[in-house]
Amino acid sequence: MVCYSVCPYEAIKISMEDGALEIDGQRCQVCGICYSACPSRAIDIIYYNYHDLIKHVEDAVQRTKADALVYMCRGNSPSPEEIEEMLIDKGISVESLASLRLPCSGRVPLEFIFSALKAGVKKVISIRCNDEFCRFKKGSRINAIRLAIGKKVLESLGYPEDAITTIEYSLKAIYFTEKCVGCDKCVFICPYKAIEAEDFATPKILDEKCMGCGACALACPHHAIQVKGFEFEKILERYVNAAMKLKAGGKAPTVLAFCCLWSEFSFLDRPEIDAAKGNVVVMEIPCFKALDPVHVVYALQNGFDGVIAVVCSEEDCKLKEGRDIAERNMKVLGDVLLKMGLQERFALFESSPRLLGDFEKKLNEFLKKIFALGCVGGKKNV
């Protein structure tokens, strides 16, 4: 019954007939919290199971000689430079790091932590979301409780106090004050009331309310407010450079895929995948609301022959407030692409991690369509 009690989405039910547990596949969000809580491993999971995680750590330790493992939530992944700053701020000294990104820190059982230390890691560092930010409701809090228990166990066995360290971190909106003109559009558009207007000054971001959805960034006409890690200019630079490399390598036509962090797991987290024979560049976005129509148009004008986006359905969306903002943006985008004669070169579809292989299937179908259309400007396919 442990799994029944911890499921954040009430996706595990008790049969009224015989008392057996049943999983409701339509409610399940594949967070893995039930899997990690089950004492007998009676629940199997399609992503990031215990044995695969341990193999990843063992391979990383052997390859990099890492003395520390840092694991973090997929929607809360600071850059390597930021991680280094966090460790310095905490007074934690490490020689090298092995990193692991998961859908939720709450899916990690204590057994995994102990096995990682046994594999040669001296320190395990969990970068977990603030409780209010957790996309899976209970995951971050469950992780904190487990690690507190783990620390006590390890200390009783003679391990140092810093064998397990927890750091709270959540992606937030940030301002570039010099660009702000005080229009206050971000204040009105924020679905979480996380931005307050200030008299004769840049609006104030309320970090405790900000969910990092990106709606404010799309509303700002001067890119004065951005979600950390998903800044407009950085994303622009990434896909423009990627398009240039693909074209220089003879790849054509090319496709840019924007993917919500929560709509697809396996494809994004498998670096060895060939991304449809190298013709596709995949870029993450923190939410459907952060899908900027400007990027779609600009990509089609600067090297890409098609753009596809995969987002969560309304039922699965982890940041439901303000979804109408994204839907209005897509309507405007559709009108613009129609006038430009590019409407067939953009596709949007909904998916979920529980639909294993769905993203790859839709991506390959779209790529075939773009190959049939040819390159923008009528260039020859390769």
Helix (H, G, I), strand (E, B) or coil at 153: helix
- Cα gap 170→208, rounded to integer Å: 10
Can you tell me whether residue 51 is helix, strand or coil? helix
What CA–CA distances, in Å, run from 194 to 190, 212, 292, 334? 7, 10, 20, 29
CB-CB contact of 258 with 308 (8 Å) = yes
Q: Which helix (H) or strand (E) holds 69?
A: strand 68-73
Structure tokens at 359: 């993203």
| Cβ atoms within 10 Å, residue 115 | 17
HEC sequence for 4-17: HHHCCCCCEEECCC
pLDDT score for 211: 94
Domains 46-168 and 173-227 share a fold: no
d(CA 297, CA 330): 12
Query: Is residue 276 exposed (0-12), middle (13-18) or buried (19+ Cβ within 10 Å)?
Result: middle
**What does the domain layout of the chain look like in residue ranges?**
46-168, 173-227, 232-373
Fold of 46-168: Rossmann fold (3.40.50)
**Which pLDDT does position 382 carry in this prediction?**
43
**CA angle (85, 112, 132) in 5-degree steps:** 55
Task: Say how far apart CA 126 and CA 68 lie, in whole Å.
Answer: 11
Helix (H) or strand (E) holding 257: strand 255-260
* Alpha carbons 259 and 172: distance in angstroms, whole number: 19
pLDDT value at residue 378: 64
Collapsing DSSP to helix, strand or coil, 116 comes out as helix
How high is the pLDDT of residue 233? Answer: 93
- Residue 223 contacts residue 232 (beta carbons within 8 Å): yes
Q: Find out whether 310 and 350 touch, Cβ atoms under 8 Å.
A: yes
pTM score, whole prediction:
0.89
Is the preceding omega at residue 253 within 30 degrees of 0, hence cis? yes
CATH class of 232-373: alpha beta
Structure confidence at residue 15 (pLDDT)? 81
Give residues with Cβ within 8 angstroms of 320, minimum separation 6: 314
> Of 207, 196, 201, nearest to 180 (Cα)?
201
HSE, CB side, 13 Å, CA atoms: give it for residue 133: 25
Q: How many CB atoms lie within 10 A of CB 301?
A: 11
Separation CA 382–CA 379 (nearest Å): 9
CATH architecture of 173-227: 2-Layer Sandwich (3.30)
Residue pair 229/79 in contact by the 8 Å Cβ criterion: yes
Nearest CA among 166, 54, 156, 29 for reference residue 109? 54
- pLDDT tens digits in sequence order for the chain, 382 residues long: 789 999 999 999 988 778 788 889 889 999 999 989 988 888 888 888 888 889 888 988 888 889 999 999 888 888 888 888 888 888 888 888 888 888 898 888 999 999 999 999 999 999 999 898 999 999 999 999 999 999 999 999 999 998 999 999 988 999 999 999 999 999 999 999 999 999 888 999 999 999 999 999 999 999 999 998 899 999 999 999 999 988 888 888 999 999 999 998 876 566 545 555 578 888 999 999 999 999 999 999 999 999 999 999 999 999 989 999 999 999 999 999 999 999 999 999 999 999 888 888 999 899 999 999 999 876 544 4
Phi/psi at 168 (5° precision):
-90, 135
CB neighbours of residue 61 within 10 Å: 19
Alpha-carbon span 85 to 310, nearest angstrom: 33
Q: Tokens standing for 338?
A: 């129609």
Helix (H) / strand (E) containing 297:
helix 293-301
CB 362 within 8 A of CB 351: yes
Q: With contact defined as beta carbons under 8 Å apart, do 207 and 195 qualify? A: no
- Among all chains, which residue has been given the structure tokens 């992780």? 143
